[in-house]
Chain A
Amino acid sequence: MTPDAEARSYFSRRSRLKWWEGLPWILAVATFFVLPDYMAFGTQVLITIIFALSLDLVVGFAGIVTLGHAAYFGVGAYTAGMVSAHLGWTEPISALLLAGFVAAIVGFITGAVLLRYHGLTLLMLTLATAICLQEFANVNEDVTGGFDGLTGVSFAPLLGLFEYDLWGHTYYWYSMGVLFLVFVVVRIMVNSPFGLSLVGIRENSARMHAIGTPVYRRLVTVYAVSAGIAGLAGGLFAESNAYVTLDVLSFARSGTILIILILGGVGRLYGAFAGAVAYLVLEDELAKMSPEFWEFGVGLLLVLTVMFARGGLLGIFDRLRKLFSRATP
């Protein structure tokens, strides 16, 4: 290909589907058949991937560092939980959409206020906002169940056809479906002009202002979209667990999802997949053995990632690939 043709086809080559993009989905489907007893766990992994994807949009692409993203996960979870527990709403898909919608609205409002700030101030504001929301939920315990959690959450069979089973099979496919749809939307967004402008804002927001970008508007938009997706993850969480506690809004949850994203590789979409699977599987195995060992390990991994492996797991894969392709002539 001539250099000119190479340049002109750059964007389309970059956004084209690659062969390995099918792998995560094949793996997800295969897991159903290979590990049928782990479907409840698998569902939580899928939900975490959705949550991590939402964070990737905001942190990885737009460059907004937030320690309070669980706020939107929690809003989604409580929305779905409360319409079931208090209003007797049993249709799961509409409850899920409502969860995402409400979370997006909350994300829009909070984003509009907070995104006028930057750096440490913004970091503290996102953190404080999430904590305030958690306290708010705690105080209104007649509505949210407070510290004891929201009970009485139950949903009817999906589309009226699929009975829920104790082994979480239905929820696994349901979550995978939601993940697929969310992923398609996010992938399109990221490869759109909007997506490129987010990266521009992240790389040099001063220059973006100078070339005429309405930076604040773009940031609030992506933040609201991301909040909506986090809300979908939260809604799935409520539906699949039939139980919601204050922990869905916690700083620990915000911190964990950020860690998961970094470990997997930030700004690459598939980092969310890699990070969620690696973290949750390892946690399941290691935390049982020794919680301190697990905690230390995560801390060490984080330190090592930041100092030596900025691209996370996917970054390491990339480097191995380059090494391999250099070795083979």
Chain B
Amino acid sequence: MSDPVLEVIGLYKNFGALEVAHNIDFTLQRGARHALIGPNGAGKTTFINLITGVLAPSGGQILLNGQDITGLGQAERSRRGIARTFQINQLFRGLTVLENVALAIAERQGIASSMFRPLSSYSEITDEAMDLLGNFELSDDALRRIDELPYGRQRLVEIVIALGQRPSVLLLDEPAAGIPSSESQHILDAASALASDITVLIIEHDMEIVFSVADYITVLVSGAVLIEGEPEVIAADERVRAVYLGEANRD
């Protein structure tokens, strides 16, 4: 029954004396909607950075579809099907929405290194980009520059770029970050509308999104896994409450 697409075994990371990831064992089941939650500074983004190759681990293993990717670089992991979004938008601000998405699609299709044929001759890129944008109601914004768009729509483009990579594993780092909760419905809809053959790991603070999207939750505290399980189990757990209650008190 278990079909892990991503496995993390004994992963740890130190910066000198500072340990940001502590012996993490983690499994992502194929097709899952898996949420990663935890207080600020728990190391959630660090974890994503370790999985995607932005950071090299100090020890441990990462397996994608059973293959060891621990030593591979970012670009190679991306080509093997891992895509991620960033907590703070990492977009190509001076370019149009269409170009932002086209970049990811061209790279995936392996034609981004083509030097002597015009981009316009690859109509499949534009077609696919417009299709994707259409799914997110961004078609009318296709030719607008990123920095002309309201933040909420930029956040959607952030996701569309990752989808242009046609990943098998999509890591969403706080997709609703910076968006007022009144507008986060779009993000929620986007997350729910993702194709079922894509495996999703979502980091989120917004508990509404977490509990409506996730079928499995891992709680990370101080770089280590505290507990993981189905949403009802996590919601009822005393330790989780304490961690978040502690955080709520601090606010």
In the bound complex, what is the Cα–Cα distance between A200 and B98 (angstroms)? 13
Which residues in B have their C-beta under 8 angstroms from that of A199?
A: 92, 95
Q: How far is the CB of A191 from chain B (nearest CB, A)?
A: 5
The chain B residue sitting closest to A200, CB to CB, is B103
CB of A213 within 8 A of CB of B114, answer no
CB of A195 within 8 A of CB of B103, answer no
Q: How far is the CB of B24 from chain A (nearest CB, A)?
A: 21
Which residues in A have their C-beta under 8 angstroms from that of B92?
A: 199-200, 203-204, 207
In the bound complex, what is the Cα–Cα distance between A3 and B161 (angstroms)? 20
CB of B119 within 8 A of CB of A191, answer yes
CB of A193 within 8 A of CB of B75, answer no
A197 CB–B CB distance under 8 Å: yes
A21 CB–B CB distance under 8 Å: no
Q: A6-14, A233-241, A251-259: which one contacts chain B?
A: A6-14
Nearest 10 CB-CB pairs, A to B? A212-B78, A12-B120, A11-B120, A7-B142, A203-B92, A194-B115, A207-B90, A209-B74, A211-B104, A197-B112
The chain B residue sitting closest to A191, CB to CB, is B118
Which B residues are within 8 Å of any A CB, using their own CB?
Answer: 52, 54, 74-76, 78-79, 83-84, 86, 90-96, 98-99, 102-104, 106-108, 111-120, 122-123, 125-127, 130, 139-140, 142-143, 161-162, 164-165
CB within 8 Å for A10 and B90 given contacts A188-B118, A192-B117:
no
Q: Is the interface of A mostly helix, strand, loop or mixed?
A: helix
Which residues in A have their C-beta under 8 angstroms from that of B118?
A: 11-12, 15, 188, 191-192
CB within 8 Å for A196 and B75 given contacts A7-B130, A11-B120, A191-B118:
no
CB within 8 Å for A10 and B96 given contacts A192-B116, A194-B113, A211-B78:
yes
Can you report 28 A-B residue pairs in the complex whose CB atoms are below 8 A from each other? A3-B139, A7-B142, A8-B127, A11-B102, A11-B126, A12-B120, A14-B120, A188-B115, A192-B115, A192-B117, A193-B125, A194-B112, A196-B103, A197-B106, A197-B107, A203-B93, A203-B95, A204-B91, A207-B86, A207-B161, A209-B54, A210-B74, A210-B90, A211-B78, A212-B78, A212-B79, A213-B75, A218-B113
CB of B90 within 8 A of CB of A204, answer yes
CB of B107 within 8 A of CB of A212, answer yes
In the bound complex, what is the Cα–Cα distance between A31 and B75 (angstroms)? 50
Contacts A193-B114, A200-B95, A207-B161 supplied; 10 other A-B pairs, CB < 8 Å: A3-B140, A7-B139, A11-B118, A12-B120, A196-B99, A196-B112, A207-B90, A208-B103, A209-B78, A212-B78
The chain A residue sitting closest to B52, CB to CB, is A210
A189 CB–B CB distance under 8 Å: yes
CB within 8 Å for A212 and B165 given contacts A6-B143, A192-B119, A194-B113:
yes
Q: How far is the CB of A51 from chain B (nearest CB, A)?
A: 21
In the bound complex, what is the Cα–Cα distance between A294 and B23 (angstroms)? 66
The chain B residue sitting closest to A6, CB to CB, is B143
CB of A193 within 8 A of CB of B98, answer no
CB of A11 within 8 A of CB of B119, answer yes
CB of A215 within 8 A of CB of B75, answer yes
1-53 of chain A: CB within 8 A of chain B: 3-4, 6-8, 10-12, 14-15
In the bound complex, what is the Cα–Cα distance between A300 and B95 (angstroms)? 31
Which residues in B have their C-beta under 8 angstroms from that of A213?
A: 75, 107, 112
CB of B98 within 8 A of CB of A211, answer no
In the bound complex, what is the Cα–Cα distance between A210 and B159 (angstroms)? 13
The chain B residue sitting closest to A199, CB to CB, is B95
Q: How far is the CB of A84 from chain B (nearest CB, A)?
A: 32
166-210 of chain A: CB within 8 A of chain B: 188-189, 191-197, 199-200, 203-204, 206-210
Among A188, A191, A195, A209, the most chain B Cβ lie within 10 Å of the Cβ of: A209
A214 CB–B CB distance under 8 Å: yes
Q: How far is the CB of B129 from chain A (nearest CB, A)?
A: 8
Q: How far is the CB of B54 from chain A (nearest CB, A)?
A: 8
CB of B119 within 8 A of CB of A209, answer no
